[in-house]
């Protein structure tokens, strides 16, 4: 069992230096602890915590009203997840975000619809969280003191709807997406956001990637001089017939001088070159998550390039969720999982076979390059 030190979560401390004025200074002045030690504790990077330092931190939290004496020191520690579904189930709150489309006959938000493939994935997500991907029945029992151990479960799961690009004005779609993401990011406590769909249907996806890799959302990077300058280590190339909202994580070219001739996902390899994941008739999906241990904050994207890939991803998560663990990148209390999932036959039309057999079991799950992710984190 592995524990995380959640001082930053209790304080509402964020890695963004513009939103944390005086936090370290205040703790240092009150406790007398070394500034570097406090910074390490906030980042969950300390190798050990002396009892004296722990006592002083508890005093600070009590004196400033962040916790009561009976909650400490327990409130400072949390159990880290040991698999993909547990990473979700251990969050106190989960917000699931889906894109919606207007009914062209009514042009009313009351009649807006969620794409069927996104609804399938949404249902499988709820099932996986509530059952730990089917493993919950094996997790009950008693601890060493004979007390019954509970299966982790969020206290609250909520759904948020945003406009898909092309359904309302671009400004309205982005404003709604920003409202949802900023509301999540500014909240305190152990929480997770899960975006279902790609940037073609869910603009919050772009905000998750921009926040993760330090780029400007809704600004194209198709015109960078070299593909190595792209902010994200993966890229969605639109179909010619798709809506094409500008963004750092999607577009029509890898760079000013390098084309992306086929629609689908591209990704950077260990050596800095880029590969296309949709060749030989493959359809593709993306699983991405970023977990900040010190904050207890999880950002996740589950995205199929086509509707069929989205439906098949739901099946893959249901029976092979353990293969999206462990994260491909871990450093300084940050964990990142990034995987492309390939499926045979890129026919996007639903067919009878999709309902009769579990084609998601035949997927090829590819972890993306740790080196490509690490390089971008180093330059954020």
Residue 89 token pair: 């189930």
Q: What is the pLDDT of residue 54?
A: 87
d(CA 306, CA 241): 13
Per-residue DSSP letter, 213: H
Q: Which residue has the higher pLDDT, 35 or 47?
A: 35
Residue 369 token pair: 């390059």
133 and 318 Cβ atoms separated by less than 8 Å: yes
Q: Which CATH number characterizes residue 61's domain?
A: 1.10.260
d(CA 332, CA 45): 6
Name the residue among 219, 92, 110 with its Cα closest to residue 161.
Answer: 110
Check whether residue 60 and residue 99 sit in a common domain.
no
Backbone angle region of 328, left / alpha / beta, with phi > 0 → left and psi within -120 to 50 → alpha: alpha
Q: What is the pLDDT of residue 176?
A: 96
d(CA 143, CA 141): 7
pLDDT of 40 higher than 90: no
Three-class DSSP labels, 45-113: CCCCCCHHHHHHHHHHHHHCCCCCHHHCCHHHEEECCCCHHHHHHCCCEEEEEEEEECCCCCCCHHHCE
Check whether residue 101 and residue 55 sit in a common domain.
no
Check whether residue 111 and residue 252 sit in a common domain.
yes
Q: Residue 13: pLDDT band by 50, 70, 90 thresholds?
A: confident
331 and 281 Cβ atoms separated by less than 8 Å: no
Check whether residue 40 and residue 153 sit in a common domain.
no
Helices 23-31, 51-63: inter-axial angle, 10-degree rounding: 110
Check whether residue 327 and residue 349 sit in a common domain.
yes
Check whether residue 100 and residue 168 sit in a common domain.
yes
What residues have CB less than 8 Å from 151, skipping those under 6 apart? Answer: 89, 132, 136, 139, 140
Check whether residue 200 and residue 56 sit in a common domain.
no
Q: What is the pLDDT of residue 142?
A: 52
Domain stops at, among 79, 95, 121? 79
Q: What is the pLDDT of residue 197?
A: 95
d(CA 84, CA 235): 23
The percentage of the chain sitting over the pLDDT mark of 90, rounded to a whole number, equals 55
Domain stops at, among 15, 46, 79? 79
Name the residue among 124, 197, 119, 130 with its Cα closest to residue 358.
Answer: 124
Q: Residue 358: pLDDT band by 50, 70, 90 thresholds?
A: low
What's the rounded mean pLDDT across residues 145-160? 80
Domain stops at, among 46, 79, 112? 79
Check whether residue 54 and residue 94 sit in a common domain.
no
Q: Residue 173: pLDDT band by 50, 70, 90 thresholds?
A: very high
Q: What is the pLDDT of residue 6?
A: 78
Check whether residue 39 and residue 142 sit in a common domain.
no
Q: Which residue has the higher pLDDT, 41 or 354?
A: 41
Q: What is the pLDDT of residue 34?
A: 86
What's the rounded mean pLDDT across residues 2-20? 69
pLDDT of 146 higher than 60: no
pLDDT of 18 higher than 70: no
Residue 266 token pair: 């591209």
- Give the number of domains in the chain: 2
Domain encompassing residue 353: 84-378
Q: What is the pLDDT of residue 137?
A: 62
Check whether residue 322 and residue 210 sit in a common domain.
yes
Check whether residue 102 and residue 179 sit in a common domain.
yes
d(CA 246, CA 78): 39
10 Å CB burial of residue 366 (0-12, 13-18, 19+) is: middle
Name the residue among 304, 317, 318 with its Cα closest to residue 350.
Answer: 304
Q: pLDDT for 325-349, tens place per residue?
A: 999 999 877 899 999 999 986 455 5
The percentage of the chain sitting over the pLDDT mark of 70, rounded to a whole number, equals 86
315 and 358 Cβ atoms separated by less than 8 Å: yes
Q: What is the pLDDT of residue 96?
A: 98
Backbone angles phi, psi at 247, to 5 degrees: -175, 165
Q: What is the pLDDT of residue 67?
A: 86
pLDDT of 1 higher than 60: no
Check whether residue 186 and residue 43 sit in a common domain.
no
Q: pLDDT for 286-328, tens place per residue?
A: 999 999 988 889 999 999 999 989 999 999 999 999 999 999 9
């Amino acid at each position: 069992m592995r524990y995380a030190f959640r001082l930053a979560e209790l304080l509402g401390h964020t890695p963004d230096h513009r939103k944390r004025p005086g936090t370290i200074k205040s703790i240092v002045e009150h406790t007398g602890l070394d500034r570097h030690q406090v910074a390490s504790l906030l980042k969950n990077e300390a190798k050990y915590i002396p009892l004296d330092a722990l006592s002083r931190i508890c005093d600070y939290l009590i004196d400033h009203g962040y916790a009561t004496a009976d909650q400490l020191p327990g409130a400072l520690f949390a159990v880290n997840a040991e698999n993909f579904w547990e990473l979700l189930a251990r969050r106190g709150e989960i917000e699931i975000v889906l894109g919606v489309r207007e009914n062209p006959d009514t042009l009313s938000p009351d009649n807006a619809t969620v794409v069927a493939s996104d609804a399938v994935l949404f249902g499988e997500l709820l099932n996986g969280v509530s059952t730990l991907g089917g493993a919950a029945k094996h997790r009950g029992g008693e601890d060493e003191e004979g007390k019954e151990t509970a299966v982790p479960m969020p206290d609250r799961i909520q759904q948020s709807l945003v406009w898909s690009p092309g359904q309302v004005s671009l400004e309205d779609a982005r404003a709604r997406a920003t409202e949802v993401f900023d509301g999540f990011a500014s909240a305190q406590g152990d929480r997770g956001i899960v975006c279902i769909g790609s940037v073609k249907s869910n603009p919050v996806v772009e905000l998750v990637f921009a926040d993760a890799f330090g780029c400007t959302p809704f600004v194209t990077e198709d015109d960078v001089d070299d593909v190595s300058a792209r902010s994200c280590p993966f890229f969605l190339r639109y179909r010619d017939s798709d809506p094409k909202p500008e963004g750092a994580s999607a577009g029509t070219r890898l760079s000013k001088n390098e084309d992306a001739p086929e629609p689908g996902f591209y990704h950077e390899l260990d050596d800095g070159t880029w590969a296309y994941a949709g060749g030989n008739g493959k359809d593709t999906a993306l699983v991405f998550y970023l977990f900040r241990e010190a904050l207890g904050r999880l950002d996740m994207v589950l995205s199929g390039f086509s509707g069929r890939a989205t439906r098949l991803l739901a099946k893959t998560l249901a029976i092979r969720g353990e293969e999206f663990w462990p994260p491909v990148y871990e450093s300084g209390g940050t964990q990142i999982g990034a995987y492309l999932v390939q499926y045979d036959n890129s026919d996007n039309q639903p067919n009878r076979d999709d309902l009769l057999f579990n084609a998601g079991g035949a997927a090829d799950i590819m972890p993306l390059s740790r080196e490509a992710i690490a390089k971008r984190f180093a330059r954020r």
